[in-house]
Amino acid sequence: MGVRKRVEERGPNTYRDTPYGIEVRDDGTLVGLVRLRDAEPETGCAELDIYLGEADRWGRGYATDALRTMCRYGFDSMRLHKISLTVVTENHAAHHIYRKVGFVEEGRLRQGFRRDGHWYDQYAMGMLKGELR
């Protein structure tokens, strides 16, 4: 089943789970997904996930634009105080983009992610309201 169909069938967004598709403006092609999850009004905190599909779409500003838009939505519309994420330390491109939009490293999770039989460290990163660039 395609990503677009799964997104359409999942039902309405909630405060706890707010995903949005990342589309190309020119033709509406779905190239990824950005999501705020586990948001709690009591703490004003949420986790951010982003996925940008095919490598030929990387480096074109889609992730940067989607991150800024979603963080702005989280802070302004959802009234969040903090947005957090984790990123594998070897994912230098993603780490660069997160820092560019205002996320800061808050710690390192040792061997917190496993892929293809290998364990990788992750950076724990966060952004407070007012730090978005």
In this structure, which amino acid lies at residue 63?
A
113 contacts 88 by C-beta, under 8 angstroms: yes
Cα torsion 32, 72, 98, 120 to 10°: value is: -60
How far is CA 55 from each of CA 62, 72, 116, 125, rounded to the nearest angstrom?
12, 26, 19, 24
* Residues belonging to the active site: 98
| Look-up of token digits 């990342």 | 22
18 contacts 35 by C-beta, under 8 angstroms: yes
Distance between CA atoms of residues 61 and 30, nearest Å: 14
